[in-house]
Structure 1
Amino acid sequence: MEVEQIAAFLAIARQGGFTRASEALHVSQPAISRRIRLLEQELGAPLFERVGRGVMLSEGGRAFLPYAEMLVTVMRDGLDAVRDLHHGHTGELALAFVGTLAGTGMTRRLRDYRRAHPGVRLRIRTATSDGVSELVRRGEVALGLRYDDDSHPELLSTRTYDEELVPISAPEHPLAAARHLTRGELAAHPWITFPPRTGETREPYANALRALLGQEAADTTEIVPIDSLTAQISLVEAGFGLAMVPRSAVERELNAGRLRVLDVAAASSSIPVVLVERRQGFQSGAVKAMRLALLARDGG
């Protein structure tokens, strides 16, 4: 059994087909097929079943998948350990985080890290909270930042900071100058927020908005689903509705008077931003330095 065979198996399982797997690995499709054929011969069972124009894991493939992921992850750890021994804080560091965090104070931490460690090439990926955890668990990234804890036994969750959320409007919005707004007044206007995410156990922004409006009002309020925090802020600024967003993401707009925080009793809430890492994973010096930077208690 060879590493290339395991890599081919995982690529097909994740990409859903031989052609896409060959493109992802930059290897010809006949070479991919040969690797799988040899692997199946060694295991004595088929790993995939053809479904339409793609493939799906067979019963044997589903049984083999977690062990294949473990093999590749351990191999990556071994390579990282040797490289770290000889090169220290150099090489590549892969980090995943929820896309909305790019508009918060976390970006400053990444900037400071790059300045302090110019020899490290930072590779960034974005995903949903569940997706971030999966990338970490499979060893595709060293660290991840997501919303809320992950209870998976292979992962360690550490809270980094709480991201404050505030309700905002354009300065000329009818509610911008109002005092002590009620839930009924808030629910009478459109709210811009993220659409439901498939597979996510909780959508933190939607939960915060529901808590602000109340269960009954939230069910009748007009919701404008926009899957981009930057677009949400722009639409609010243009007067298309209200939104619940991280305060750190709109500091410039608030200071410039382009947005207002609505006056609602106990309106602000927060979402815990959590660092996830593999419990038994190897951490190079570069990864340890990143971990310290992300956990620094500087107010986010």
Structure 2
Amino acid sequence: MEIELLKTFLLAAKKENFREAAEELMMTQSAVTKQIQKLEKVLNIQLFDRVQKRVVLNANGHYFLPRAIQLIAFEEQIVQEMNAFQAGYSQKVSIGVAPQIANSTLPLIIQLFKQLQPDVIIQIDILPSNEIGEAVFRQQIDIGLSKVPSTRELLTTMIANEPVMIVGPKPFDRDDFHLLIKTFPIYTHAFSPYWEQIERQLPRGCQIERLNQTEVIKTFIKQGMGIAFLPKSVVQTEVENGVLFAQIPQIGDDILSATFVHTKYTHPLINRFIQACITIYKK
């Protein structure tokens, strides 16, 4: 439905006079009449009754009037939102985040992002890392923050590639690595991309327990129930507070854990979010 037809209808409805409406719109009276007739044809109803030389809104016209006002207001809102989007501003952005990130670096990322983009409203969905790429691809979320790459064709930025630490409940030296893995159960996250690399270098007979919640793993470690291999950022706060203890394991090749931002398109707002992520992980 053409917006210009609606605007002509609103003015004609207000004045109930096509000539006066035409003068204000700087059109001919016949042009106004044709636009009203075109709108009536689209709606398949008559909006005005012609009474001698006057036009009067009929019941259909009165019913349609508030809806026409809503349509025009909606059109103006869309134009404003698109102009804001093009200028690099948006009122709302949805972010899908893996639990491992949500429980560690996400609060710092959001705080910095809000400083860079103070007008934005952020919606956060906690999703498994292996589901985030698909959610971005289907445009269920605007930005994905994940520990795994996506198989979908997306714009992906690696924002961090940090060391994986061996984490225990008590202080230990790097030389204690082989004793630790033989003495304690080893907890691993069910969706850790780096785990296969670790497992190939572990001796036979290690007791391995798979869990799907990093927070549960850290709780078990605090209780002295085992050890784990976790990314540095995931345990950094607990290590700084002396609640957990971590070292880079002596395991041959360095084990690294990547973090990715997945998006469907580029945009200044997304660039600011990526900037915030990189800044936080560098700290």
Same fold per TM (> 0.5)? yes
1:276 to 252, 262, 267: 262
Deviation at 1:84, TM superposition (A): 3.7
Q: State whether structure 2 residue 213 is matched by structure 1 residue 213.
A: no
Cα distance between partner residues in 2 of 1:288 and 1:187: 45
State the one-letter code of the partner of 1:204: P
- Deviation at residue 132 of structure 1 after TM alignment: 0.5
Could you say which structure has the larger radius of gyration? 2
Distance 1:116 1:263 in 2: 34
* CA distance in structure 2 between the aligned counterparts of 1:191 and 1:80, rounded to whole angstroms: 53
Task: Name the SS for the 1:93 alignment partner.
Answer: strand
Number of residues of Structure 1 aligned to a counterpart in Structure 2: 204
Offset at residue 151 of structure 1 (A) = 4.4
Instruction: Give CA deviations for 1:122-177 in whole Å, capped at 9, x if unaligned.
Output: 0111222331100110111112122243343x312221111322001111xxxx54
DSSP 3-state at the match of 1:168? strand
The match for 1:204 among 185, 190, 193 is: 193
Distance 1:132 1:142 in 2: 10
- 2: CA distance, partners of 1:273 / 1:81: 36
Shift of 1:260: 2.0
| Cα drift, residue 179 of structure 1 | 5.4
1:1-300 alignment to 2 at 5 Å? Answer: 83-86=81-84, 89-152=89-152, 154-171=153-170, 176-177=171-172, 180-181=175-176, 183=178, 186-195=181-190, 203-204=192-193, 206-207=195-196, 209-211=198-200, 213=202, 217=204, 220-262=205-247, 264-266=249-251, 269-278=255-264, 281=265, 283=266, 285-296=268-279, 299=282
Alpha-carbon distance between aligned partners in 1 of 2:241 and 2:231, rounded to the nearest angstrom: 17
Deviation at 1:277, TM superposition (A): 1.5
TM-score by length of 2: 0.61
How many Å separate the matches in 2 of 1:242 and 1:274? 26
Q: Which residue of 2 aligns with 1:42?
A: none
Q: Contact (CA 8 Å) 1:103, 1:248: kept in 2 or not? A: no
1:32-56 CA distance string (max 9 Å, x none): xxxxxxxxxxxxxxxxxxxxxxxxx
Q: Offset at 1:211?
A: 4.6
Deviations 1:239-284 (A, max 9, x none): 0100111222322332333322257425762111112122xx4x55
Bigger Cα displacement from structure 2, 98-107 vs 240-249: 98-107
- 1:60-106, Cα deviation, whole Å (9 max, x unpaired): xxxxxxxxxxxxxxxxxxx9886140475241101112110123334
Deviation at 1:112, TM superposition (A): 1.0
Q: Please, which runs of 5 or more residues in structure 1 have no aligned partner? A: 1-78, 198-202
Structure 2 unaligned blocks of 5 or more: 1-76
The one-letter code sitting in structure 2 at the alignment partner of 1:252 is T
Q: 1:93/1:182 Cα in 2 relative to 1: closer, same or farther (>3 Å)?
A: closer
Whether contact under 8 Å (2:168, 2:246) holds in the other structure is: yes
2:282 aligns to what SS in structure 1?
coil
**Identity, % of aligned positions:** 16
8 Å contact 2:163–2:231 — kept in the other structure?
Answer: yes
Is 2:165–2:249's contact at 8 Å kept on the other side of the alignment?
A: no
Cα displacement (A) at 1:190:
0.5
Q: What is the RMSD computed on CA atoms of the aligned residues?
A: 3.0
- Report if the CA contact (8 A) 1:194-1:227 is conserved: yes
CA separation in 1, counterparts of 2:111 and 2:193?
26
Cα 1:234–1:134 shift into 2, 3 Å? same
Do 2:156 and 2:260's aligned partners in 1 also have CA atoms closer than 8 Å? Answer: yes
179 and 109 in structure 1: CA distance in 2 versus 1, 3 angstrom threshold = closer
Give the TM-score normalised by the residue count of structure 1.
0.58
Compared CA separation, residues 113 and 210, structure 1 to 2 (3 A): same
- Evaluate the alpha carbon distance shift between residue 275 and residue 237 of structure 1 in structure 2; reply closer, same or farther with a 3 A threshold: same
Q: Distance in 2 between matches of 1:80 and 1:246?
A: 43
